[in-house]
Amino acid sequence: MHHLDHTPSDRLLCPVERIQKDKDGKVTTISGGIHYIIKSSYFISNAEDEKPVHLLSLILRNRKEDKVLSFTFCYVCQIALLGEAYYVYFCSYCPNYYHKECVESPSVFHSSDHPKHPLQLLWIPDMSLEEERDKRCCSCKRGVDALFYYCSICDFAVHMACAGNPTSPTIDNPKRHKHTLHYFPRKSGLFCDVCALVDDSDYLYVCLLCDFIVHKRCVYLPYVIKVSRHNHRLTFTPNLPYEEPTVTDCGVCHAKINENYGEYSCTKKGCVYAVHSRCAMQSDVCDGKKLEGEPEEVYEDTKMFEEKGDGIIQHQSHPRHQLRLEKIFHDESHHCQACRRPSYDHGGNVYRCMQCDDFIFHESCAYLPRTKQFMLHVHPLTLDPSYNFIDWFQCGKCYRYSCGFRCMCSCAV
């Protein structure tokens, strides 16, 4: 036995075996898909003690000390085996890993996240059906797979592991709101004061002392961020700071910003730019990193060349020789070393090596900066001129192939 294993849990039933017990039982239909109702207990009954399958096979393992478990997913909820709890179950018969909460899950669960109705444990028989994957956990927002809890009256779904870690009934975050916020466990058409959206799929917190409502995921949004669409950092403000009513368009979706709700705006003097809170948090706009109190990165003098004279430069990608500017250069046999396009593109002006006849740059390509902010990527990109021109690479945005210069994210692993 593994040195981190504990004594087998001789009274618990493996979830796979539990599903097999109820697969011929009652079913319910959700969004056109058949779901099986799990009514059996997770405990082994006396009548099942002699059944030589998944019984008496669950072993408790320490996920805090076993590094392998950090890269393993629970078989029934497909969520990584991470979290505050330190133990998971391993079935020596399957063999599969399970969250402790996913094994020790009653068929009917009373959750503080959904106190109005009890939740029923359901099983999806075919996890490959896309329409059934559209059902998402109301807590973590990830799709539900195999086993999950569900309220058919309110269309409320939650993973078993999430149900075992209920939402806090109150939240104290003075920076977001000066009063204690209380969990509001019912769907409603209320607007969030931070993102200005109505989202019934997210938990709501309300202030009992004043008119303030916020989604759970909006409570801890960062206050200072950097987005890919603007050169300066943005700061969260509870309402639009600009006095001119015409400056109310979001810099991402270009829709009107309601000045009565929160948004991110630029505080640089003379700079007018703002975005919706939810638009700012999109994965291709911002990485969500909290930058409050962090020094702002400044990219100065990032050009890749040094001017040597009138129309003559020394480029870092070709350090041995100098390049001379030649205007209206047309030669179909020559291609730019940076973009690999014909020399007559970009107006025909090129920098040509004064000693190597076949080495040229388009004038615009020679002026490419070392560091550049790209609106389709959340981090600044660094120009890589040292790529081997014999090999090809595929662009991560347009998916075309090239063997010229490439821009790479400095944060990429």
Give residue 132's pLDDT band: very low, low, confident or very high (50, 70, 90): very low
CA distances 307 to 170, 311, 339, 348, 405, Å, are 62, 8, 22, 20, 21
For the cut 70, the answer to whether the pLDDT of residue 10 exceeds it is: no
Average pLDDT of span 288-314: 83
Greatest extent of the chain over all pairs of C-alpha atoms, in Å: 94
Q: Residue 40 has what pLDDT?
A: 85
Q: Residue 57 has what pLDDT?
A: 66
Give residue 129's pLDDT band: very low, low, confident or very high (50, 70, 90): very low
Q: Residue 244 has what pLDDT?
A: 53
Q: Which residue has the tokens 């393993």?
A: 72
- The mean of the pLDDT values for the chain is 80
For the cut 80, the answer to whether the pLDDT of residue 252 exceeds it is: yes
Q: Residue 108 has what pLDDT?
A: 94
Query: How far is CA 166 from its chain centroid?
Result: 22
Q: Residue 300 has what pLDDT?
A: 59
Max mean pLDDT among 39-48, 122-131, 276-285, 366-375 falls in: 276-285
Q: Residue 6 has what pLDDT?
A: 46
Q: What is the pLDDT of residues 138-171, one digit of tens each?
A: 888 788 877 899 998 888 888 888 888 888 899 9
Rounded CA gap, 232 and 266, in Å? 7
Q: What is the pLDDT of residues 16-63, one digit of tens each?
A: 888 888 877 788 877 777 788 898 888 876 555 555 555 556 777 665
Single-letter amino acid code for the residue at 7: T
Average pLDDT of span 381-397: 75
For the cut 70, the answer to whether the pLDDT of residue 181 exceeds it is: yes
Q: Do the bridges between strand 33-37 and strand 263-266 make them parallel or antiparallel, or are there none, so unpaired?
A: unpaired
Rounded CA gap, 276 and 294, in Å? 23
Rounded CA gap, 364 and 347, in Å? 9
**In which region does residue 355 sit, left (phi positive, over 0), alpha (psi from -120 to 50) or beta (all else)?**
alpha
Q: Residue 47 has what pLDDT?
A: 52
Who has greater pLDDT, 199 or 123? 123
Q: Residue 171 has what pLDDT?
A: 92
Give residue 205's pLDDT band: very low, low, confident or very high (50, 70, 90): very high
Average pLDDT of span 111-134: 74
Q: Express as a percent the part of the chain with pLDDT over 90.
A: 13
Rounded CA gap, 93 and 57, in Å? 6
Pick from 61-65, 140-144, 320-324, 362-366: least confident = 61-65
C-beta separation of 145 from 75 below 8 A: no
C-beta separation of 121 from 147 below 8 A: yes
For the cut 90, the answer to whether the pLDDT of residue 119 exceeds it is: yes
Pick from 116-120, 225-229, 372-376: least confident = 372-376
Average pLDDT of span 355-363: 85
CA distances 354 to 109, 311, 313, 325, 362, Å, are 78, 12, 10, 10, 15
For the cut 90, the answer to whether the pLDDT of residue 372 exceeds it is: no
Give residue 314's pLDDT band: very low, low, confident or very high (50, 70, 90): very high
Q: Express as a percent the part of the chain with pLDDT over 70.
A: 83
Give residue 226's pLDDT band: very low, low, confident or very high (50, 70, 90): very high
Q: What is the pTM of this model?
A: 0.68
Who has greater pLDDT, 314 or 22? 314
Q: Residue 133 has what pLDDT?
A: 52
For the cut 80, the answer to whether the pLDDT of residue 212 exceeds it is: yes
Q: Residue 69 has what pLDDT?
A: 57
